[in-house]
Amino acid sequence: MALFPFSIADIDDPECIRVVLYASGRMGHAPLNALLKKAYEDMTKISERMDALEDRVDMLDLIGVK
């Protein structure tokens, strides 16, 4: 592990970027791209649910439900 911070722009292969996690007094590490992939998938699911909800609200507005 590097003792001094460095720019991740200097890393040729983004797959090599890992993130240190600390929980319950223990440390671990995970690939950054794996963490971002999970977050992206979760955001995509939320966005799809919001779109469906907006469609439903629009439909209720059209039929005059208050």
| The pLDDT value given to residue 62 | 86
In a domain, 8, yes or no: no
Examine residue 52 and state whether it is found in any structural domain, yes or no.
yes
Q: Within a 10 A sphere around the Cβ of 35, how many other Cβ atoms?
A: 13
Is residue 10 situated within a structural domain? no
At residue 50, does pLDDT exceed 80?
Answer: yes
Closest listed residue to residue 32, CA positions, set 19, 41, 22 = 19
In a domain, 7, yes or no: no
**Per-residue pLDDT at 24:** 94
Task: Provide the domain count of the chain.
Answer: 1
Considering only CA atoms, which of 59, 10, 50, 14 is closest in space to residue 32? 14
6 has a pLDDT exceeding 80: no
Q: Which long-range contacts (CB under 8 A, 24 or more apart) does 13-18 make?
A: none
pTM for the model = 0.57
Average pLDDT, the chain: 87
